Amino acid sequence: MPELPEVEVSRMGISPHVIDQTVKEIIIRNPRLRWPIPEAIKAIEGQVIRGVTRRAKYLLLETDAGYAIVHLGMSGSLRVLPVGTPVEKHDHVDLVLTSGEVLRYNDPRRFGAWLWEEKGVTHPVLEKMGPEPLSDEFNVEYLYEKAQGKRTAIKQFIMDNHVVVGVGNIYANESLFAAGIHPKRAAGKISLARMTKLVAEIKSVLAFAIQQGGTTLKDFKNADGKPGYFAQELQVYGKASKPCPKCGKPLSETKIGQRATVFCVDCQK
């Protein structure tokens, strides 16, 4: 599943091609994604794309009339292609630009989304979200206070979008390992000093993943078709039973919130 770094890399990849471009037409080949694509999205036709922003794992294509909200789901990807490029299987949406290029959305599993909201209104999918992990609002004071009294496993806690957005499974595994915190430890039992380390590692791991172009696991490719390289930097995710990069003992695996969780019993307490 594309996580925050992959979505951010997609945003950076498509922005130079779509910002200040006029949408000539939106072509919807299959409206049955995670939610049906609303008819109201046709309002984007004739509009200039003023900006491309990201909220959590959602991309927002902003116009004077409103904004299209794009979610890549489990297997979605965005590509910038010349108009007239042959359509392939699972190419569900095209945003045809007057520049002669098309922003094409491909999604084999159709768990992604294309939604629309008028200017000045917050769409329900974007409400009640926590701060962005790379923002100043996400800091140790915030996370430590939020965790007080919580019995929730710290891994589930930092993956909760109401607490902080976009820390998906891969990066939760990696951040907790880097911080030396056991993923099952209760969020409310983590000291201020250790929480300080965790916040720093979440920011560091995500920033480095973005720099590396994201993590390619099965489906994700960047807007230019090139894979991300962070997979080569993974320390623990997907490496159960392999030697711990720090102590050399075999890494353990368990399920937390139905998600695969890999950790070192010696290095993470």
According to the annotation, is 109 in a ligand binding site? yes
Centre a 10 Å sphere on the Cβ of residue 141 and count the other Cβ atoms it contains.
11
Q: Which of 11, 57, 146, 221 is catalytic?
A: 57
Q: Which of 24, 34, 239, 259 is catalytic?
A: 259
Q: Which of 2, 5, 133, 183 is catalytic?
A: 2
Is 36 catalytic? The answer is: no
Per-residue HEC secondary structure of the chain comes to CCCHHHHHHHHHHHHHHHCCCEEEEEEECCCECCCECCHHHHHHCCCECCEEEEECCEEEEECCCEEEEEECCCCCEEEEEECCCCCCCCEEEEEEECCCEEEEEECCCCCCEEEEEECCCCCHHHCCCCCCCCCCCCCHHHHHHHHCCCCCEHHHHHCCCCCCCCCCHHHHHHHHHHHCCCCCCEHHHCCHHHHHHHHHHHHHHHHHHHHCCCCCCCCCCCCCCCCCCHHHHCCCCCCCCCECCCCCCECEEEEECCEEEEECCCCCC
According to the annotation, is 150 in a ligand binding site? yes
Q: Which of 3, 6, 101, 117 is catalytic?
A: 3
Is 259 catalytic? The answer is: yes
Binding positions for DNA are 90, 109, 150
Q: Which residues are catalytic?
A: 2-3, 57, 259
Which residues carry a binding-site annotation?
90, 109, 150
